[in-house]
Amino acid sequence: MDYPANPFAWALLSTVLTLMAGLILYVTRLNLRLRHSKRVLENEIGERCRAEEKLAENENRLRQIIASEPECVKLQTLDGILLEMNPAGLALLEAGQPGDIIGTSVYDMVAPEFRDEYRALTERIFAGESGVMEFQIVSLKGRRRWMETHAVPLRDGRGNVIALLGITRDITARKHAEDEVRLHYRELAHAARVNTMGEMASGLAHELNQPLAAIANYSRGCLRRIRSGGGTVEDLTQAIEQVCQQAERAGGIISSLRRFVNKEDSPRQPQDLHAIVREAMLIAGPEVKLHQVDIRLNLAPGMPHVLGHAIQIEQVVLNLVRNAIEAMGDVPPGRRYLTLRTYVAEGKAVVEVRDTGSGLPREMQNRIFEPFFTTKSAGMGMGLPICRSIVEAHGGALIPLPNPNGDGLTFRFTLCLADEEEIDG
Ligand code: ADP
């Protein structure tokens, strides 16, 4: 090979060769880097595909779980628009297809009287809380059903609440069962009141006899004076006033008894506890006299109203008073003290019925609330279980407490105050 003789040409050739070699090296490196990037990209794409497949698989699994979930699962917006609902939910609402429900407002389904409470629950969920609520729905076919919903916030990746997630179950059967239990309990309480009246009949007849006998006496006196022409108008007026007073007394006793045995109680509302206690003591009056019991009423002045059913509370007081009187049967008459005390403690009204009777052996303390447990020959053993049910249905508690000095027993029960503010007042 002939090399250029010209040194300039030689230098040019060598530069060109060097550049070419550099270029080849660069392209080779680029090629390698590109291949590497391709491999990385292929791996990434593969991974992403696998992750997406997994995600789709998970989503599918989750959808299947939700779809087969026997409870209604739903997602809704703050203003109540339904975003998702599973088949169980659609069935509850008697919807033929998702399109009948999705995109509509939940408030079309919530029964009108529960809408405000439901709206408040939704607002709480979007504020980040969770909540439970019982309410009624009206299905697309116009049927009402009781529901219980457990609602929680559904959040996005940044923690913002994006929907209300509600799991709702049909509690209609439970609600009906509760209504029946309530009805049975009311009927049992009523039967016990009628039974109490039966047991007290002779004493009450005697109590009623007194004003009736007085009326007969005063009337006969009036007649005598009228017939004999003696007696002034003033005498006659006084006698007739007595007749009126005694008739009112008899009428008062009869209306108390009628109220007491009435099946329908007054509605649950604020009640004057002391008026109820006095009414119970009026009915217990004949037995108190018969057994020569010394009654001490220690009623707290300014007692706030309690919330409840007047006759049921009266039934509890009368039952405890009658038990106390019976428990003092073996105590000599001069030592039969029955103290009825009321006061307010820890935001509740407290009633205590204390006797100086036989007391209660420790082993019997739990048994006395068992139905049909009695130590009396003619006892039924239903008084205290009914009293406890009544008190607990009123949000209170009934307990026996041995007296500190060891003689006799105290029954204490609590009742809710009608208005918390009254505690301070
Ligand atoms: P009954 O009066 O028909 O026996 P209760 O359920 O009212 O039914 O009372 C159950 C039992 O509790 C009574 O038989 C009695 O042994 C006991 N008991 C209730 N009150 C008192 C009391 N004040 N002192 C002692 N024992 C009581």
Pairing status of strand 294-299 against strand 337-345: parallel
Maximum Cα–Cα distance across the chain: 180
Closest ligand 1 atom to the C-alpha of 374? Answer: 14
* Parts of the chain belonging to CATH 3.30.450.20: 68-170
Closest ligand 1 atom to the C-alpha of 355? Answer: 23
Q: What predicted TM-score, i.e. pTM, was given to this entire model?
A: 0.67
CA 26 to centroid of chain Cα atoms = 82
Q: pLDDT grade, residue 77 (50/70/90)? A: very high
Q: Is 317 exposed, middle or buried (0-12, 13-18, 19+ CB in 10 A)?
A: buried
Q: pLDDT grade, residue 365 (50/70/90)? A: confident
Distances (CA, A) of 418 to 102, 191, 311, 323: 44, 28, 16, 28
137 near 116, Cβ under 8 Å?
A: no
Whole-number pLDDT of residue 425: 35
Closest ligand 1 atom to the C-alpha of 319? Answer: 7
User: Residues near ligand 1 with C-beta < 6 Å?
Assistant: 323-324, 327, 355, 357-358, 360, 368, 373-376, 379-384, 409
Whole-number pLDDT of residue 64: 83
Whole-number pLDDT of residue 420: 55
Computed over every residue of the chain, the mean pLDDT equals: 91
Among the listed residues 227, 321, 229, the one whose alpha carbon sits nearest the alpha carbon of residue 280: 321
* Parts of the chain belonging to CATH 3.30.565.10: 179-424
CA distance 367 to 383: 13
Reply yes or no on domain 68-170 having CATH 1.10.630.10: no
In testing the pocket of ligand 1, which one of 322, 368, 372 has its CB within 8 Å of the most ligand atoms? 368
- Give per-residue pLDDT as tens, 330-356: 999 999 999 999 999 999 999 999 999
Whole-number pLDDT of residue 289: 92
Whether residue 73 is predicted with pLDDT greater than 50 in this model: the reply is yes
Residue 362 DSSP label: G
CATH superfamily of 179-424: Histidine kinase-like ATPase, C-terminal domain (3.30.565.10)
Whole-number pLDDT of residue 421: 46
- Give per-residue pLDDT as tens, 227-286: 888 778 888 899 999 999 999 989 988 888 888 888 877 788 999 999 999 999 989 998
Helices H / strands E in the chain, number of each: 8, 12
In testing the pocket of ligand 1, which one of 193, 366, 370, 374 has its CB within 8 Å of the most ligand atoms? 374
Whether residue 423 is predicted with pLDDT greater than 60 in this model: the reply is no
Whether residue 46 is predicted with pLDDT greater than 60 in this model: the reply is yes
CA 417 to centroid of chain Cα atoms = 15
Instruction: Work out the number of other CB atoms within 10 angstroms of the CB of residue 121.
Output: 21
Share of the chain above pLDDT 70, in %: 97
CA distance 178 to 320: 27
- The end-to-end CA distance of the chain, in Å, is 123
In terms of DSSP H, where are the helices of 229-262?
Answer: 233-261
Whole-number pLDDT of residue 4: 58
Number of alpha carbons in the 13 Å side-chain half-sphere of residue 88: 18
Whole-number pLDDT of residue 91: 93
Task: Find the mean pLDDT for residues 280-295.
Answer: 93
- Give per-residue pLDDT as tens, 166-216: 999 999 999 998 888 878 888 888 988 998 888 888 888 888 888 999 999
CA distance 423 to 177: 36
In testing the pocket of ligand 1, which one of 291, 321, 323, 382 has its CB within 8 Å of the most ligand atoms? 323
Tokens for 172?
A: 């209609």
Q: pLDDT grade, residue 149 (50/70/90)? A: very high
Residue 93 DSSP label: T
Between the CA of 387 and the centroid of ligand 1 the distance, in Å, is: 11
Instruction: Work out the number of other CB atoms within 10 angstroms of the CB of residue 215.
Output: 18
321 near 353, Cβ under 8 Å?
A: yes
Q: Is 106 exposed, middle or buried (0-12, 13-18, 19+ CB in 10 A)?
A: buried
Task: Find the mean pLDDT for residues 28-36.
Answer: 92
Whether residue 408 is predicted with pLDDT greater than 70 in this model: the reply is yes
Distances (CA, A) of 363 to 57, 204, 249, 356, 359: 63, 35, 45, 19, 12
3-state secondary structure of 260: helix
Q: Which residues contact 337 (CB under 8 A, 6 or more apart)?
A: 293, 294, 296, 354, 355, 356
